[in-house]
Amino acid sequence: MAKRRRLVNTSPDRVFAVLADGWSYASWVVGASHIRDVDDGWPAVGTRLHHQVGPWPLHINDVTSVQAVDPGRMLELHARAWPLGEATVRLDLEPVDARTRVTLSYELTAGIGRFVPRRIQSALLGPRSAEMLSRLADIAVRRRVPTLR
């Protein structure tokens, strides 16, 4: 799997709160352009979010589903964007002092991308992964947390 890491200046719980909000997916996932629906219970294993990938009017409707989850620590997704392909995407969250090391791992598992050698996949998708981690960090650090009254 190709990996990219980033140190985020907030807690793993705040980073995971962004991941647990399926409606925020298009805000941090490069290429996702619109969230059409999010299954109740997201991010429980088997739940899905229904998204569009790409610019209008060329967008593709597809889904991403949760394969594994450990709240506050890890989220593994099965992302689809047919006819382009499918990928396993995993985000691991590790506390480091008052910060979080986020590791984004991905592997193209179906479609045309799986025929591209892994080193080339990593080189091509590395900038995308770096941008995704940057967006995720910005949201997690700056997002307002509602207070209960």
pLDDT, tens only, 42-79:
999 999 999 998 888 888 889 999 999 999 999 999 99
Task: Quote the pLDDT of residue 107.
Answer: 86
Q: What is the pTM of this model?
A: 0.90
The residue assigned the tokens 């593709």 is 60
- No. of H helices and E strands in the chain? 3, 7
User: Which residues of the chain carry a pLDDT beneath 70?
Assistant: 1, 83, 145-149
pLDDT at residue 2, rounded to an integer: 82
pLDDT confidence of residue 122 = 79
Coil vs helix vs strand at 120? helix
CB atoms inside a 10 Å sphere around CB 111: 15
Cis peptide leading into residue 146 (ω within 30°): no
Q: 14-46 burial, b for 16+ CB within 10 Å, e for fewer?
A: bbbbbbbbbebbbebbebbeebeebbeebbeee
In the chain, what are the domains? 2-142 (3.30.530.20)
